[in-house]
Structure 1
Amino acid sequence: MGHVTELAYLGVSATDLDAWESFAVDMLGMQLAKKTDQQLSLRMDQKAHRFLINFDQENGHAFTGFACADENALQELVKALREQGYEVLEGDANLAADRKVEQIYTTLDPIGNCVELIYGLQDADTPFHSTKIRSQFVTGRGGAGHEVLVEQGVDRKKIMDWYALLGFKLTDIIEEQITPEIKASVAFLHCNGRHHSLALANMPLPMNLHHFMIEVADISDVGSAYDRCMDAGYDFEMTLGMHPNDQMFSFYVKTPSGFSIEFGWGGLIIDENTWQVKHLDQLSAWGHRSGQVVAEKLLANVKP
C-alpha cells in the first residue's frame, strides 16, 4: 500500500504577512521565496517552499502537506483512504500550481485538520541562501521538520489509526504530571528516519497546532537564533533545553500566528526496522522552562 515519506510543508493562516516575514527571515533564517498581498512563501532548502503563509482574518494552522515517493504510492494511499470511508478530494491545477507539486489530494484527519497528500514538490530555480544561519536546515529525507497536533478531545486511537493508513508508526509515548490537575500525554509518530514527523498531544490547549519544529545542522545557529529572538522581544514559550526521547536541543518561540516554532539541533535519527517503542515520564530532560515564569523570576530579583 502507498504511504507518505515525509512532512513536506506547512500552511499557516495569518493576519499580518509582514510580521511573519520579519519573524521567519530575520529571526529564524528562512529565505523569502515569494510575497504577494495574499501569500508569503518561505524556503528552508532546495525546495520551492516549506512554509506557505496565507493572509486571513484569523491566525492558525491552515494545512499540512505530506509527500509520497511517487504517483503510484499517492494513488494507492488515496484508494486505501477512500476504501475506509474517508472523503479525499483531488486538487485542481490551480491548487497544484500554488503548492508547486505534480499532483495533490486534500482530506481531513479525525481532529478536523486539513491534510494535503502530494508528490513531486518542485525544486527552486536558485540555491537556498540564508542571511542568518551559517549552516543549513536539516530536511532531506526527514522532510521539513515535525508538528505537534493537539487532540482536542478526539480519541487518540482513532487519530493514530487514521495516520497509520498514511504510514505513520509509533515511536514513543511520554506522560508527565505537569500539575496536580494536568497530566500531559504525547504520542510521537514517524514516517521516515526522523524520530518523529508528527506528535499527538492530549493537553488542554485551544489551538490545534502546538508547535512546528525546524532543525539546523550547527548548534551555534540555535544560540544565535535564540539571541536574535530575545533581542527583538519575541515571546518564548520555552527556554533552551533538551528532550529525552529525540535528544533535540532547542527553544520554543511564539509565531505571529500564535503557535510556537521549536528551533533545534541534534535530533535523533532512528532505524525504523529495529526501533523499540519507549514510554517516558519527562517531556524535557533539562531546561525548556516557561518563558513567562523565567521573566517573572528575573523581575522579582530586580532590586528597586
Structure 2
Amino acid sequence: MNGFLRPNTGESVFGAVHLGYVVAQSARLTDWRRFGAEAIGLHVDELGADGLRFRLDDRACRFLIQRGSAEDVMALGWHVDDHDTFDRVVARIVDRGVPLIEGAREEAALRGVERLWRFPGPKGIAQEIFTVPVTTPEPLRMLSSGWVTGEAGMGHVAILSREPEAMRGYYHTVFDSRLTDYIDENVSGLTMKIRFLRVNERHHSSAIANLRGIKIDPIRTRVQHINIQSATLDDMLASFGRVTDLGFRMAWSVGQHTNDRELSYYCVTPSGFELEVGWNPVVIGPELESTWEPSTYQDISIWGHTTVGETVLDKFAQFRQAVRAAAAPEITVPQLAGGLSR
C-alpha cells in the first residue's frame, strides 16, 4: 500500500461516501431473475451460468448475484467521491493494521467499477471501496419508472447484531457516520433497539439492531434487509402488487416509519434476507444537517408494516438459529471499532 498518500486521517469524509452496490451469493438464480425483474421491476443483465446483475440507474451494477451456496450478502461496495477522500479512508484502515487488498480486475468488472479495494467488515461482510463507477448508455429495460440513487447512494442496509456498539464504532471510524436517531420497539416483551447511521444526506445508510440485554441473533443471514427507494408512490405500490401476485413471500405489509417517514413494504428475497422497497423518506440536506439532533422513537411504524404469513414454525426456526449463533462469537473488527468492541 506504499502508493497511497498519508493525508490527515482526522479530516471528515462524511458526505463523500455512498452505498454503491451489494454482492450476494445464491444457487437460486432463476428465482432471483424472476424476483428482481418481474416482481420488483429492476433491469437485469445475465452473466451466463454464473450470475446476474440488476441495475437501478446508469450504473452498470447495483446488485451482483453470483452463483454459490451461501444464500446471503457477501459484500457491500462503497463509492468514495474522490482520490483524496479515498486516501483518507485507506489510511484509517491500514494504519490500524487491518488488511486491505485490491480486488482482481475481473471482480471489479463484475461489480461495474474500474478498481476496488476490500477489507474485513462486521459479521463477515466484506467492505469494498471504489472511486470510479462504470456507467452505461444502454437504456434501462425495467417495469419501474425509476429509482432514487445519486448523492444518497443506492439505499441502505439493516443488520441485527449482538455487538451493536462495535459495529457503530466501525462505521464511525471508517466513514465518519453520524447517529441520526434511535427506535426502541417492543418485540414479544423484549426491547429491540435500532441505531440509524448516516454517511450522507440519506436518513440512514446503515441500521444496526439488537435485543437489549440479550445477545441473541435469530436471523440466519448476515443482513436483515436491503432497502431501495422507488421514484414514485405508484411504482412502489405496483411492485407490491407484483410481488404478491407472483407468489413471492411478503414479510411486512405497506406502512410508514416513525423516524424517516418512508412508506415501504418488506418482501423476502430468494436468498432469505428481506428487501425493503420504499418511497419518499426524509432527506437530511445541509439545512437540516446543521441543526440535527438524534431522537428516540418508541415504535418502528406510524401505521401498517404488519407481519404477513408468519407461523409458529417460523418462530421455532428463529429460536434454533439464535441458539446456534450464541455458540460462536460474532465477527467484529476490533481495530476499527473505535474502542467500542468487546
Q: TM-score, normalised by structure 2?
A: 0.81
* 1:1-304 paired onto structure 2 within 5 Å: 1=11, 3=13, 4-130=16-142, 132-133=143-144, 135-151=145-161, 153-154=162-163, 156-164=164-172, 165-180=174-189, 182-203=190-211, 204-206=217-219, 207-271=221-285, 272-292=289-309
Residue 237 of structure 1 aligns to which amino acid in structure 2? A
Give percent identity, aligned residues only. Answer: 28
Q: Partners of 1:2 and 1:74 in 2: how far apart? A: 11
Taking structure 1 as reference, are residues 80 and 293 closer, same or farther at Cα in structure 2, changes over 3 Å only? closer
Distance apart, 1:268 and its partner CA: 1.0
CA contact (8 A) 2:178 2:197 kept: yes
| Structure 1 residue 34, shift from structure 2 partner | 3.2
- Aligned amino acid, residue 260 of structure 1: E
User: Structure 1 stretches of 5 or more lacking a match?
Assistant: 295-304
Separation in 1 of the partners of 2:310 and 2:46?
A: 38
1:60, CA displacement in angstroms? 0.7
Partner Cα separation in structure 1 for residue 97 and residue 62 of structure 2: 30
Q: Counterparts of 2:209 and 2:229 in 1: how far apart (Å)? A: 20
Q: Letter of the aligned partner of 2:197 in structure 1?
A: L
**Is the contact between residue 2 and residue 68 of structure 1 (CA under 8 Å) also seen in structure 2?**
no
**What secondary structure is seen at the aligned counterpart in 2 of 1:253?**
strand
- Residue 241 of structure 2 aligns with an amino acid whose one-letter code is D
TM-score (structure 1 length as normaliser): 0.90
Partner Cα distance (1:140, 1:127) in 2: 17
> What is the rounded CA distance, in whole Å, between the counterparts of 2:191 and 2:68 in structure 1?
34
Structure having the larger proportion of residues in strand: 1
Give how far 1:167 is off: 2.5
- Runs of 4 or more, structure 1, over 6 Å off, are none
- Alpha-carbon contact 2:21-2:111 (below 8 Å) kept: no
Q: Specify every segment of 5 or more residues in structure 2 that has no aligned partner in the other structure, as ranges.
A: 1-10, 212-216, 312-342
Structure-2 change in CA distance of 1:293 and 1:93 (3 Å): closer
Partner SS for 1:174: strand
Report the number of matched residues.
289
User: d(CA) in 2 for partners of 1:170 and 1:214?
Assistant: 20
Q: Secondary structure at the match of 2:122?
A: coil
SS class of match (2:123): coil
Deviation at 1:293, TM superposition (A): 5.2
SS in structure 1 at match of 2:238:
helix
2:79–2:129: 8 Å Cα contact kept in structure 1? yes
